[in-house]
A and B are shown apart, each in its own frame.
Chain A
Amino acid sequence: EAQVTQNPRYLITVTGKKLTVTCSQNMNHEYMSWYRQDPGLGLRQIYYSMNVEVTDKGDVPEGYKVSRKEKRNFPLILESPSPNQTSLYFCASSRDSQNQPQHFGDGTRLSIL
């Protein structure tokens, strides 16, 4: 089954404790991205990647890092999480650009205390 898999689905942690949210897709998609969803703000793009070893900032990249060492994986890294990063995070992928339907993962709800 074609899918985008995120882990963990839920995480409660404390300020400053590094965490990684993994994202993996099995559709051989070149384009992957991360969004955060906050009430009243819709989906805001954090980072995106056009292909392996190619990443770029979205609209709200501060406090986040990503890597794209393999085509299928695109982890989101919070080196020193802060409470304002409490949010619902979605990973998405598409065939080769953002100009195509995005396939979203099930989301990761992060709470930073």
Chain B
Amino acid sequence: GENVEQHPSTLSVQEGDSAVIKCTYSDSASNYFPWYKQELGKRPQLIIDIRSNVGEKKDQRIAVTLNKTAKHFSLHITETQPEDSAVYFCAALDKLIFGAGTRLAVHP
């Protein structure tokens, strides 16, 4: 079945730096790749998503890139701020499978 691997599991950056989280998936039929942010004690919330017919998508400081050939996709956060500190989950669908999560800490 589908498997989604997410790296790194923890990431620590200084405020203003960029952060990159990578995910790989196994099912070549996957066609939808959302990213969710979960702040401590809160629900996961969608921050950006990309579909298989698009290679890159941006929304202000957040961008996602997709490489279908290599079967990996990445979340890029630029100019990080302390409020970006959270756990980030990638997911891949054909069948919605989540990665294990990345705990991002942004230090002032």
Contact = CB atoms under 8 A, between A and B. Distances in A.
B99 A42 contact: yes
A30 interface: no
B13 to A, nearest CB: 21
Interface residues of B, number: 23
Contacts of A98: 93, 95-96
Interface stretch (B42-50, B59-67, B68-76): B42-50
Interface of B: 1, 6, 9, 31-32, 34, 36, 42-46, 49, 89, 91, 93, 95-101
Given A59-B1, A98-B96, A102-B34, 6 more contacts: A42-B98, A42-B99, A44-B98, A90-B43, A101-B49, A102-B44
State the 4 A-B residue pairs at the shortest beta-carbon distance, nearest first.
Answer: A104-B43, A42-B98, A43-B98, A98-B96
